Amino acid sequence: MHTFYQQSGLYCAIFAPTKLMRNSIDRVLQMHLTRKVMRVLDPACGPGLWLAHFAAQGAEVAGSDIEPSAIEQATKLLPKRGVRVMVGDMRRPPDELGADFNCVINLDNSIGHLADYNDVAEHFASIRQRLAPRGVYLVGLALRERTDTIPEGVVYERGPIDIPGGGFAALRTESLGLQPKTRCERIRQIIITANVKDTPTVIAEQYDLLTFTFEMLKDILMAAGGFELLGCYDATDEDLPSKPFRKGAGDVLLVLRRADDMQKRTGKKLGKKMGKKAAAKSPKKPTTSATAATPTRSRTAARSTRRT
């Protein structure tokens, strides 16, 4: 398990969403929801940073995370009423969290932490079942074609920043490029701390993130039951400008709705059903020390919005 994700207090301080990012997410939701945000699910909620944002607006919020310390932190951060958080797997969030959410959020690229594309298809199918009619799913992911490359280098730096309880910390996140066999993006993260209680002075670790070809993603969404694309936004910019949904689009935030909602209005079916090239044939990530037991949890939009 990655040490940094177990340090929920440190995580909160470094990755708290900025005011600009919060406003951008609110704007996107206002564009695509027919009514205000009422019920929100975050299937990789971490310490509840985004759930806190929506709870402050009066929404009922629910979330799960694979890391128990993150849920403990979320319980402390979030109000007592209208909130339900528990330990759970992003592939299929606990049934106890409920359903009929008119907003599901999974920002940055936490979906990339899943082990393989079978897990991704299972995740989308589960989220589709949780959405209320005309509800939307905001999901961050990376669209990379097989011929694409990613330059190695720094994608995000922050700090030093003061840490509640004393001390300070600085973060550096680097991309090590796409791995030839798996097409995963390898990330290296280095956190340096000083005088932070019960925290190592240096936390250095790396992990792999799934990327998706354009056709692969369409097949996965169809295998999960079908989704309608409402919008595509540039996740490398906290303003979240709109961008074309196309091959090699890079780090994007997609706004999805259950396809059956559109079919009821238009009588049309979306796309072609998957054939034998199902996601079940997708390769798994290598279970090396860099990727073994990678937690399926959110890092908010901070890393992707600083990509250069």
Count of C-beta atoms within a 10 Å radius of residue 145: 16
- What CATH architecture applies to the domain 3-145+210-306? 3-Layer(aba) Sandwich (3.40)
Determine the pLDDT at residue 152. 93
Which run of H or of E encompasses 232? strand 227-234
The answer to whether 254 touches 218, Cβ cutoff 8 Å, is no
Q: Which residues of the chain have pLDDT under 70?
A: 1-3, 5, 261-308
Give strand pairing partners of 142. 251
In angstroms, rounded to a whole number, what is the distance separating the alpha carbons of residues 116 and 121? 9
Question: Which residue, 181, 30, 207, 188, is CA-closest to 115?
Answer: 207
Q: Are 71 and 88 in contact (CB under 8 A)?
A: no
- Round to whole Å and give the CA distance between 48 and 254: 21
Domain ranges of the chain: 3-145+210-306, 153-208
| pTM listed for this prediction | 0.84
Report which of 308, 2, 4 is spatially closest to residue 156, judged by C-alpha positions. Answer: 308
pLDDT of residue 245: 97
State the pLDDT at residue 214.
97
pLDDT at 273: 38
For the stretch 191-211, pLDDT in tens is 999 999 888 899 999 999 999
The pLDDT, as a whole number, for residue 284 is: 54
Q: What's the pLDDT score for residue 177?
A: 94
**pLDDT value at position 186?**
96
What's the pLDDT at 43? 98
pLDDT of amino acid 259: 86
